[in-house]
């Protein structure tokens, strides 16, 4: 026999407890999706008006706009780590092959950054353990990481650095 449902009748305790966590999970999911939509597509650190910024090498004494190595540079004094790639180490390189590839990646990054307007795109983490800003980097809308990977001077970052020596 079916009894009419009384809207004022209390539910068993187990059913009441389940509603709040499900509501919170749904709300958190919506908030996360909203955060992705509202997150800025790029955070340019170029000169006002989208002008080019001239980059030197950091070892030349510059600390404002300079290239450290194949995946790290300074822009307006902020240390930036290109988040989507891994390049060979230059200091210290673990073998002659890594030293040569690292030097080539550093030179190429220098050329790419000086070729147009640089834009920095945030990722899911703001900084790495060394305090560098983690960003995807584009120059005139083209991915710097994609270019370095296509040219064999970098590889996609997979959560940790890997060796370049055979």
> Which residues participate in catalysis according to the annotation?
81, 89, 132
| Cβ partners under 8 Å of residue 136, min gap 6 | 82, 83, 84, 120, 121, 123, 143, 145
Provide the 8-state DSSP code for 51: B
Three-state SS for 53-70 is CCCEEHHHCCCCCEEEEC
Beta carbons within 8 Å of 120's beta carbon, 6+ residues apart: 42, 43, 44, 45, 75, 80, 133, 135, 136, 137
Q: Is the Cα torsion angle 16, 17, 20, 26 positive or negative in sign?
A: negative
């Amino acid at each position: 026999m079916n009894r009419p449902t009384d809207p004022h009748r209390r539910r068993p305790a187990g059913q009441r407890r389940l509603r709040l966590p499900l509501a919170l999970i749904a709300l958190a999911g919506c908030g996360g999706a909203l955060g992705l939509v509202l997150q800025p597509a790029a955070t340019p650190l170029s000169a006002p008006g989208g002008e080019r910024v001239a980059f030197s090498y950091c070892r030349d004494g510059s600390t404002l706009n300079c290239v450290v190595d194949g995946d790290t540079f300074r822009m307006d004094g902020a240390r930036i780590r290109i988040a989507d790639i891994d390049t060979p180490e230059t200091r210290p390189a673990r073998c002659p092959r890594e030293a040569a590839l690292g030097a080539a990646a550093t030179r190429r990054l220098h050329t790419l950054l000086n070729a147009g307007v640089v834009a920095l795109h945030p990722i899911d983490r703001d900084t790495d353990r060394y305090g560098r800003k983690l960003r995807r980097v584009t120059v005139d809308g083209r991915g710097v990481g994609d270019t370095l990977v296509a040219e064999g001077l970098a590889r996609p970052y997979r959560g940790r650095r890997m060796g370049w020596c055979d």
